[in-house]
Structure 1
Amino acid sequence: MKKSRIISVVLTLALVLTTVFAGTEGVFADTAKDKIKADGPAIGANFQSGTIMKAAEEDIIVPAVNLNSKSSAKIYPTVAYSSANLIYTKVSIPKAGTFNFGIWAGAPGAVGLYSSIDAGAKPIKTMEVSQSDFSNDDYDTFNVKVSKGGTYYLVFGSTSSTPAQSAFDAYYAPAGGTPSKNVAYYGSSIGSTYSYYKAKATATGYLTISFPAGTDGDYSKYSVKLMNSNKSKNHFKGVVTVDKYGRNFITYAGVPKGTYYIGIKTTEDYYKVKWNFTKVSENSGSTRAKAKSIYKGNTKKGTILATQTSKNADWYKIKVNSSQLVKLAFTTYTGGYSGGFRISVYSAGKTKAFGSADFYYGDPADILSLTTKINGIDTGRLQKGTYYIKIQKYGSASGFYKLQWK
């Protein structure tokens, strides 16, 4: 994708646009650096420098192709244009989303997307383009968000007095949808509204929500909510910020069987979102009296649900037959607006924990060594007896855990 940016080109073209469309804005935004370049416009023809292209019919409406479909967009040529005139092609999108145009410019200039070409119409967005040699990878990417489906006008302007033709293809990333399980889905967010993506849990387990790619690359940042089946309640209790540096583009949610909607808001042009569901067969006690036994070398798996409160807990117990060092390996996959999981250990007959540890998305795993102190001195061993392990949420966290007596 071409990188050149020439200020004089922008100013010259601004004068041309102002002449044709009274009141048109003359400021051209920089091209967004597309970090999903490998999944950008598919080239359906191998254009070479000097190729003669026929003009498209005047009344043609070019349909944008869903980036999630298996279809490739056609490449459409424009009619000839120069600095003396602007030309446009009608393009359509079925619902709110982001247009993703690949532009092979026959001359330096700019492109703009308009909802109307009436006098005084202002562009939704404009971008300068450099002259292309019409090879497969010499194109500019023009991304434009639109708040509703319909027909729009892709306008081409040139700073050259020599007539030239350009070519383009048109894709779109929808604002919301129904992604298949464990499949990266192109999506977009419009303005300050959330886009919603449907997900299903077929049993009790946990959802994994990830963002494999975004047009802002490592700087992508997403506001995420987990809504119930009618989008009336946010199980995260707040908005979770998912980015590279906080959560490495992944968050989790422990959920019972049901239908959910992942709400996403971001300023970037478009992104890939993926959800997956993992069923968890859990065997824990709901109270201390019902605690389930863990034996040395065994592993227990469980979920803390987004629908639960901090008063709910999973209980386990271990029986130490002789004085020894006891190590518990604890691993978590957590999500939620705040907090994490807390693991507490109680001696038989005691109501106060003799030790506890907190785990959250930035500190997801550790090995806990259980020992007994006598007269304030750590013996390095846990005395013979029965001990109870309580696992619960603190804050709004939910997700999955794994507990092993090593």
Structure 2
Amino acid sequence: MDLKKKIIAAVLSLSLLATPFTNVQAKGADTAKENQVTVQKTVKAEAIQAAEKCKTVITLDFDVQPSPVPSPSQKPVEEQKVVLVSEKGKTVDYVTPYTYTKKSQIAEEKYSVNFATIPSGYNKDVIIPIKVSAKGALVVAAASSEGKEADIYSVYQDKACQKGISIGTDKFAYVPKAGTYYMRIRKNDFEKNSENVYAIVSAFISGNNAELKNNSNVVSASMGTASPIYYKMAVSKTSKLTIKLSSDWSFYATLCNSRKSAITHEEYIYSGVGKVVYVVPKGTYYLKIKAQKETFYASAVFTPVSNAGMTSKSKAGTLKINGSTRNVLVCPGDSTSRGYYMKFTNPKRQKVAIQITTSYTSGKMQFDFYDSGKDSWGKRTLNSGLNKKYEYHVYSTTYNSNSKTLPKGTYYLRFRKLDKKTSGIIGVSIKRK
């Protein structure tokens, strides 16, 4: 799924059924008299997205009373103030965008709606403050009651609208920190001889650290590789952690402990893969993500797992020929000298193959093949990879002979880390060939 298109569709391309309101009061600058704007219908806003140009057209349907003509006692109309109200008609000082924190909010088409009333004859640009609670990605759009879209090419860091943050083709302005920003509706965009009402829709995706829970799915905004995001993960028992990122670009991932110190290598993850896998004991961890400036979903699944790979040969986990796959768990804190042992019994001379599937993002493993006399029949290195499959045909001193058979007897597999920062899961089975 293209997150950007989804958000734009949710914010701008679907019908808004805003709560109807009446008697919204737009006060003059220096008078007790009040201009009343009565919306007699449900406000409807509909945006049609042109995917090729990534441009949006918003159509609004209002039934609005015209503002009364100012009396001679009033100050010049250009000194009257633009009145900003919430969707429910409450006067506000600034726009507060709806903040997305999880995927379901986008699917539910949640966003903020505000209305700005511009007095007849107003001849200055309209500056709308927007307050956000964090760094992140801001999306805004505005259109008049006549269906004219405001040309918003930038979000500004200052009220004078001199220091701009450009809005990219993805429709987002990436704001560097919490605070107040400004959008500008240029005076050429509205009719000068009549009252104008603009609808403003807005949404925001935070670039702050977040928490990933089991089966959760959150949405984040990366501010670039120099500004990593840390995802907190509280694990209640030894588990396989599978974290997916639906990003447009490749990214860097590192598993960290509760102090945010790295316990795996920083790995470059291609966007086509978009997934990391680790195995950890009970505890609190952080996944450090360094990504390009973009928005993405992050989802997590914590799967409790048990270890069939024992730390001594005498207690080796048992495999059966043509039996089920059993798992060897490799945790980040385990020493490179620790062995994980498994064994199987070959009841007769026959061809057999060791089948191994690795799922770990960082590091390397090695396994040795032994007989009951403690003689090693060779070693193999297992490189990191997700669902990476190996198959070894075994006989005496060779792993790749298809013509020979394995003698009757008991055999052992010993797995160990070649790199302390290895973490993941290895599935092992023995098959008759």
Q: Which has the higher contact order (CA 8 A, sep 6+)?
A: 1
1:100 to 124, 139, 145: 139
5 Å matches for 1:6-405? 34-37=4-7, 40-41=10-11, 43-45=15-17, 46-47=44-45, 49=59, 51-52=61-62, 56-57=84-85, 60-68=93-101, 70=105, 72-79=110-117, 85-104=124-143, 106-107=148-149, 109-118=151-160, 121-126=162-167, 142-157=171-186, 166-174=198-206, 175-191=208-224, 192-211=226-245, 213-214=246-247, 217=248, 220-231=249-260, 233-236=261-264, 238-245=265-272, 248-296=273-321, 297-336=323-362, 339-361=363-385, 364-372=388-396, 379-395=403-419, 396-405=421-430
Kindly provide the CA deviation profile for residues 112-151 of structure 1, in whole angstroms up to 9, marking residues without a partner as x.
21222147x3113346xxxxxxxxxxxx963122232222
Shift of residue 359, structure 1, vs aligned partner:
4.1
Kindly provide the CA deviation profile for residues 181-209 of structure 1, in whole angstroms up to 9, marking residues without a partner as x.
21210112234121111112211122111
CA contact (8 A) 1:108 1:158 kept: no
Question: What SS is found at the alignment partner of 1:317?
Answer: strand
CA contact (8 A) 2:378 2:397 kept: no
Name the CA shift for 1:308/1:210 in 2 (closer, same or farther; >3 Å).
Answer: same
Higher share of residues assigned strand: 2
Partners of 1:316 and 1:33 in 2: CA distance: 44
Identity within the alignment, %: 18
Kindly provide the CA deviation profile for residues 293-334 of structure 1, in whole angstroms up to 9, marking residues without a partner as x.
322214312311122233222101122232111122212211
Partners of 2:187 and 2:359 in 1: CA distance: 53
Shift of residue 165, structure 1, vs aligned partner:
5.8
Name the CA shift for 1:355/1:158 in 2 (closer, same or farther; >3 Å).
Answer: farther
Unaligned 5+ segments in structure 2 are 18-43, 47-58, 65-82, 86-90
Question: What SS is found at the alignment partner of 1:388?
Answer: strand
Name the CA shift for 1:160/1:371 in 2 (closer, same or farther; >3 Å).
Answer: same
Whose radius of gyration is greater, 1 or 2? 2
Unaligned 5+ segments in structure 1 are 1-31, 128-139
Name the CA shift for 1:241/1:292 in 2 (closer, same or farther; >3 Å).
Answer: same
1:234 maps to amino acid: A
Shift of residue 159, structure 1, vs aligned partner:
6.2
CA contact (8 A) 1:342 1:392 kept: yes
TM-score normalised per structure 2: 0.71
Partners of 2:367 and 2:381 in 1: CA distance: 5
**151-160 vs 90-99, which moves further:** 151-160
Name the CA shift for 1:333/1:158 in 2 (closer, same or farther; >3 Å).
Answer: farther
Query: Match of 2:34?
Result: none
Shift of residue 343, structure 1, vs aligned partner:
3.0
Partners of 2:389 and 2:3 in 1: CA distance: 36
Query: Match of 1:3?
Result: none
1:241 maps to amino acid: Y
CA contact (8 A) 2:127 2:185 kept: yes
Name the CA shift for 1:168/1:162 in 2 (closer, same or farther; >3 Å).
Answer: same
TM-score normalised per structure 1: 0.75
Partners of 2:402 and 2:353 in 1: CA distance: 15
Name the CA shift for 1:300/1:347 in 2 (closer, same or farther; >3 Å).
Answer: same
**256-265 vs 45-54, which moves further:** 45-54
